[in-house]
Amino acid sequence: MFRHQKELQFEVKVERPDPMLARQIQEVLGGQFGEMTVMMQYLFQGFNCRGEEKYKDMLMDIGTEEIGHVEMLCSLISQLLDGASPEDQAKAAKDPATAAIMGGINPQHLLVSGLGGLPTNSNGVPWNGSYIVASGNLLADMRSNLHAESQGRLQVARLYHMTKDEGVRATFRKMLARDRYHQYQWMAAIEELEEKNGVVVPATFPPEAEEEAQKEAYEFWNLSEGEESGEGPWATGSAPDGTGDFVYVTKPVPKGQIPSQKIPSTVLHHDLEIKTK
């Protein structure tokens, strides 16, 4: 059960309207790595969690926090759109500098949302449920969560440098701080899960089933010009789980058979039927 509280997580207050910035902020609201995505991702992972209770609680805690982040961004976008009516745009056109800002307004902010936030990205593409990952495998999901927080924080940091509005920047600083912690959180969870289950997903796949390709599990194949890739830790040393040593293969040789060029008789028969008709 969720219960709404009227106060925002952090104060949201802008210095002046900026429809162009409002449009740009839509990316971190409804884009692939926006707050709507992490909100839904963590909640669905939590809803479906069958592991230890602490993981379910943690997922629900952070998913609920992200609901608040979505609300904060909607408030931020609404404030940036205040005074962005069509009449005000006509007046603003008299001032070239202001007109340049107002001219970048997302038409949907005027036509669809009534000067409010939208569940879309910065180009108006609707948020998509396929953005989220909730596989039921905790380690796989936590790694996806770290990826999502990394990309989301990157985009907020870029937006921070795209505005001089101190009120907007103050909101972004709070979000950046929380995104920093969220990365720490997922890294800690990943480390714990790796200690329990190993580093390869899924851990339940029987090792004996891999025996035929065991050697290939530790080889780095050089498939591009040059051999600089051999200088990385992925090409030398031991695997993270200690089960083998990495080998750098300079010129990997294919070991499969040549695909058959013979056309199946069923296809020939089908073609004859089509020609007959």
pLDDT at residue number 276: 47
Across 173-182, 216-225, 267-276, the highest mean pLDDT is recorded for 173-182
Confidence of residue 37 (pLDDT cuts 50, 70, 90): very high
Asked if residue 122 has pLDDT above 50, the reply is yes
Q: What is the pLDDT of residues 233-250, one digit of tens each?
A: 999 999 998 888 999 999
- The predicted model gives 204-232 an average pLDDT of 84
Q: Where in the chain is the domain with CATH 3.30.1530?
A: 206-277
Percent of the chain with pLDDT over 90: 64
For the chain, give every residue range classified as CATH 1.20.1260.10: 19-197
CATH value of 206-277 in 3.30.1530, 1.10.3470, 3.40.50, 3.30.43: 3.30.1530
Give the model's pLDDT for residue 72: 97
Mean pLDDT of the chain: 87
Q: Which of 2-6, 95-99, 175-179 has the lowest mean pLDDT?
A: 95-99
Partners of 245 in the β-ladder: 238
Task: Please give the structure tokens belonging to residue 196.
Answer: 């329990």
What CATH number labels 19-197?
Answer: 1.20.1260.10
Residues 75-107: tens digit of each pLDDT? 999 999 986 655 655 555 555 655 555 556 788
